[in-house]
Amino acid sequence: MTQPPTPPSVPERLEGLRRDIDGQGRRVLDLVLRAVECYFDADHAKAQGVVADDDEIDRVDVEIERACIAALRSGLEGEHEIRSVLTIVKVNNELERIADLAANIAEAVLAGEATGPATLRVMANSVVGMLRDSIRSLASGHADLANQVLRFDDTVDAFRGEIFRDAQSRVESGEVPVVVAFRLLGVAKALERIADHCTNICEQVIYLQSGKIVRHRPEGWSEPEMPAS
Q: Side chain identity at 116, as an amino acid letter?
A: G
pLDDT over 50 (residue 61): yes
Residue 4 has pLDDT above 80, yes or no: no
Residue 147 pLDDT greater than 80, yes or no = yes
Asked whether residue 4 is assigned to any structural domain, the reply reads: no
Q: Answer whether residue 229 is part of any domain.
A: no
Lowest mean pLDDT segment, chosen from 66-75, 112-121, 163-172, 220-229: 220-229
225 within some domain: no
What does the pLDDT read at residue 3?
Answer: 58
pLDDT of residue 213: 60
The pLDDT of 82-102, averaged and rounded, is 95
Select from 61, 64, 33, 62 the least CA-distant residue to 46. 33
The pLDDT tens digits for 167-221 are 999 899 998 899 999 999 999 999 999 999 999 999 999 888 776 665 544 444 4
Q: What is the pLDDT of residues 120-132, one digit of tens each?
A: 999 999 999 999 9
Q: What is d(CA 223, CA 229) in angstroms, rounded to the nearest whole number?
A: 18
Q: With respect to residue 172, please indicate whether it lies within any of the assigned structural domains.
A: yes
Structural domain contains residue 164: yes
Number of domains within the chain: 1
So what's the pLDDT on residue 183?
A: 92
Is position 220 within any domain?
Answer: no
Model confidence, pTM: 0.88
Question: Residue 69 carries which side chain, given as an amino acid letter?
Answer: I
| Residue-level pLDDT at 47 | 97
- Please report whether residue 174 resides in a domain: yes
**pLDDT value, residue 80:** 81
Domain ranges, residue 147: 10-210
The CATH number of the domain where 181 resides is what? Answer: 1.20.58.220
Residue 224 lies in a domain: no
- Of 40, 151, 154, residue with least CA distance to 105: 40
- The amino acid sitting at 172 is E
